Structure 1
Amino acid sequence: MSKKVTFTLAPEIVGDATEALLLGDFNNWDINDGIGLKVQKDGSLKATVTLEPGKTYQYRYFLNDGRWVNDANADYYIFDHTYHVDNCVISVPDAEEPASIKADAAAPAKKAAKTEKAAKPKPAAKTKESTPAKDDLTKIEGVGKKIAELLVAENIVTFKDLSKTTAKKLTAILEAAGSKFKVHNPTTWPQQAKLAAAGKWDELKALQAELKGGK
């Protein structure tokens, strides 16, 4: 028996985008069969999809501003070695009540995670419980609120995450977000983030005093 699952993408991840497509295993990642999300009054985007209970699906969102973004509260994430990105994962439970994936939800889907573990554990899976708390990425010189949202959408949520991200990947994220972000130079962001992650705030302050816009 099929089950209706609601996918909700929070306003802070949507950003300036006005439309999005939900792509995943359930539509063979075919953009021509992408599931359109409807704009809600609070600025979020939402779509309801009929899926088969007891199965696990990988998925992501493609926004009309050119960004691929993830669900911040997926059951967990799996690294795709072909495209070098983390895919969201949802395990549809067998229970009667409707499942729901919301990017702005606070509680993890514990029952869904247990279903996946019992069925077939996936390698390189990142469980919700192991996800570290978010850091204030705007403390990095050159990273504003909008850019921080772009980084979070790519699962770069802590100083440690940012310190391990290459300047090349950061540049690609900015370019994919549109022309207004291309002017930013992320070269020093990993270096700054490494100091922040280590709690070396005085050294970070000294470094930032030499920078202008993160350069």
Structure 2
Amino acid sequence: MSITKQYLKSKPECKITFCLPAKEATKVEVAGDFNDWSLTELKKYKNGKFIGQFTLPVDNEYQFKYIVDGEWVNDAEADDYKWNDFAASDNSVVIV
């Protein structure tokens, strides 16, 4: 799992790329407070990686989780983790 960040020079925004290697998976989605916890499907590539990109305002932190074939999972390389009472588990956090 990896998250890459590309800060834009012209705007206070950052392009966040979510990349999840999951060769055996058929579908990977990401949901977080940056997309109102709606499921956004990541594109699967031939190398088995699922990739999606979002442009987010800087000076914020965003909670998220991946949904791999219906199962909610955290990113092992997230910037932080925050407890979520609703789900009774941690959420991954990306800080920009």
Q: Work out whether the TM-score is over 0.5.
A: yes
Which residue of structure 1 aligns with residue 5 of structure 2? none
Q: Tell me the CA shift for residue 10 of structure 1.
A: 2.1
- CA displacement at 1:41 relative to structure 2: 2.6
**Structure 1 unaligned regions, length at least 5:** 93-215
Residue identity matched to 1:22: V
In terms of fraction of residues, the more strand-rich structure is 2
The residue aligned with 2:17 is 6
The total of aligned residue pairs comes to: 85
1:79 Cα deviation after fit: 1.4
Pick aligned residue for 2:30 from 22, 28, 38? 22
Alignment match, 2:70: 66
Distance apart, 1:35 and its partner CA: 2.0
Runs of at least 4 residues of structure 1 off by over 6 A?
none
Q: Highest Rg: 1 or 2?
A: 1
Query: Which structure dedicates a bigger proportion of its chain to helix?
Result: 1
Equivalents in 2 of 1:66, 1:38: separation in Å? 16
**Residues 20, 49 of structure 2: 8 Å contact kept:** yes
Report 1:1-215 matches (<5 A). 1=11, 2-11=13-22, 16-30=24-38, 34-63=39-68, 65-92=69-96
CA distance in 1, matches of 2:41, 2:86: 25
* Superimposed CA distance per residue, residues 57-90 of structure 1 (whole angstroms, 9 cap, x where no aligned partner): 0000112x22111111000111112211110000
Give the match's secondary structure for 2:26: coil
Corresponding residue SS for 1:7: strand
TM-score calculated relative to the size of structure 2: 0.79
Deviations along 1:39-67, one digit per CA (max 9) or x if unpaired, are 1232111101111111100000112x221
Computed over aligned residues only, the root mean square deviation of the Cα atoms, in angstroms, reads: 1.4
Counting aligned pairs with the same residue, the percent is 40
Tell me if the contact between 2:82 and 2:92 (Cα under 8 Å) persists in the aligned partners: yes
SS of aligned partner of 2:34: helix
Structure 2: stretches of 5+ with no match in the other structure: 1-10
Query: Normalization by structure 1: what TM-score?
Result: 0.37
Q: Tell me, what secondary structure is at the counterpart of 1:8?
A: strand
SS at match of 2:86: coil
**For 1:45, what is the secondary structure of its paired residue?**
strand
Q: Aligned to 1:18, what secondary structure does the other structure show?
A: coil
Aligned 8 A contact 2:82 2:90 in 1 = yes
Structure 1 residue aligned with 2:8: none
Partners of 1:39 and 1:77 in 2: CA distance: 26
